[in-house]
Amino acid sequence: MMGTTSLFYDPNNLLPTMGLIMTKFTITETGQKSAEYVPLLDDGPPTRYCKGNIPFEKWWNKIVFADSKGNKLTRRNLVLAVSNKDGGAHVDRRLDKDYADITRFNSLGWRFVQNGNKRHFATHPELASVRQISHEVLKSLKDEFPEYF
């Protein structure tokens, strides 16, 4: 059984789904703006952590990204693409289209405006999501085997 912190995927939602992460916007004292994708870890709203445990297969195959083009990624898609094709074990010149759209071509559509210019986020959504998945795994293991933590 696995603990989940992912938001529910609703296929009728018109906005992109980023089930495991949130966006963080920062303005420095000098007025510089930045935006990044960040994992919630344990800092999200309490409703993220009151969902109980679900079977591994359901957790692993749950949609955690959906973009405006209809691309969808599960935890499984995401972890395997990051580790097997995108610099984990090796780099593959041919990335899966759904993964490439979300990670390379900003099909989630999020940008911020600085001095009238549209800017991209400073971090990548897939890496923040893999960090949150790792957090879920560690918390699930700790719940199941507290004597090892």
pTM of the shown model: 0.89
Q: In total, how many domains does the chain have?
A: 1
- Considering only CA atoms, which of 61, 101, 96, 69 is closest in space to residue 82? 96
Residue 125 inside a domain? The answer is: yes
Residue 76 inside a domain? The answer is: yes
Task: Domain of residue 102: give its range.
Answer: 2-143
Residue 87 inside a domain? The answer is: yes
Residue 39 inside a domain? The answer is: yes
Tens-of-pLDDT digits for all 149 residues of the chain? 998 999 889 999 889 999 999 999 998 888 888 899 999 998 877 666 666 789 999 999 999 999 989 999 999 999 999 988 777 556 667 788 999 999 999 999 998 888 888 888 889 999 999 999 999 999 999 999 999 99
Q: What residue type is assigned to position 84 of the chain? A: N
Q: What is the pLDDT of residue 88?
A: 59
Residue 149 inside a domain? The answer is: no
Residue 57 inside a domain? The answer is: yes
Q: With contact defined as beta carbons under 8 Å apart, do 1 and 56 qualify? A: yes
Alpha carbons 148 and 70: distance in angstroms, whole number: 41
Residue 11 inside a domain? The answer is: yes
Q: Give the length of the chain.
A: 149
Question: Which residue, chain included where needed, has tokens 């559509």?
Answer: 109
Q: What is the pLDDT of residue 128?
A: 96
Q: What is the pLDDT of residue 30?
A: 86
Residue 135 inside a domain? The answer is: yes
